[in-house]
Amino acid sequence: MNEIDTQLHAWQTESHHPTSEGIVLYQRCACGARRIATVGDSIEVPVSYPETTVQAG
């Protein structure tokens, strides 16, 4: 892994839905990346938080 493979994302939640496992978040970054994340049985849903991820390919 090198600097080009790693990017800092500022995820914004497009929608969220309660499930039996917690809350499912559908998020996107301004760069066009998307992800589906889950959080436990929390009342607060994060709107965005920076995170470093590795892009596939």
pLDDT in tens, 39-53: 886 555 555 555 555
What pLDDT digit, counting tens, does each position of 4-29 carry?
Answer: 346 788 889 999 999 888 889 999 99
CA pseudo-torsion sign 36, 38, 43, 44:
negative
Q: Six-digit token pair at 20?
A: 């039996």
Q: Is the pLDDT of residue 54 over 50?
A: no
Closest CA to 9 of 29, 36, 38, 34: 29
pLDDT at 48: 55
Q: What would you report as the CA-atom Rg of the chain, rounded to the nearest whole angstrom? A: 13
pTM above 0.85, yes or no: no
The whole-number pLDDT of residue 46 equals 54
Q: How many CB atoms lie within 10 A of CB 42?
A: 9
Quote the CA–CA distance of 19 and 48 in Å, as a whole number. Answer: 20
